[in-house]
């Protein structure tokens, strides 16, 4: 059961994002993609498989990764605007 959930959950969310992009355009899909569409189901599966303590630590690491990615995005955007 858990293996089937692992194989279906994240691809189903990504397929739903693709359908949203086709139905409502890329801006809506971009907003939806900003939600934890991939990390959320993975942390849910970790909680089911390894327990809530491990899932909590994985969530903290996931948030730290998002902060690092956004810091890079902001620095890259600033550099592009500054230096063309």
Residue extents of the structural domains in the chain? 2-83
Q: Tell me what pLDDT residue 57 has.
A: 95
- How far, in Å, CA of 41 to CA of 13, rounded? 9
Phi, psi of 80 (to 5 degrees): -65, -40
Helix (H) or strand (E) holding 1, with range, is none
Q: Tell me what pLDDT residue 61 has.
A: 92
What are 68's two structure tokens? 């690092």
Q: How many CB atoms lie within 10 A of CB 55?
A: 19
- How far, in Å, CA of 78 to CA of 84, rounded? 10
- How far, in Å, CA of 27 to CA of 36, rounded? 17
* Average pLDDT by stretches of 10, the chain with 84 residues: 83 89 90 78 88 93 89 94 88
- How far, in Å, CA of 79 to CA of 13, rounded? 33
Q: Tell me what pLDDT residue 53 has.
A: 94
């Amino acid at each position: 059961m858990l293996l089937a959930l692992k194989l279906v959950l994240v691809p189903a969310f990504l397929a739903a994002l693709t359908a949203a992009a086709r139905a409502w355009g890329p801006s809506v899909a971009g907003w939806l993609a900003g939600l934890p569409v991939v990390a959320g189901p993975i942390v849910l599966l970790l909680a089911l498989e390894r327990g809530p303590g491990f899932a909590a630590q994985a969530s903290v690491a996931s948030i730290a990764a998002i902060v690092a990615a956004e810091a890079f995005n902001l620095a890259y955007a600033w550099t592009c605007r500054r230096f063309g």
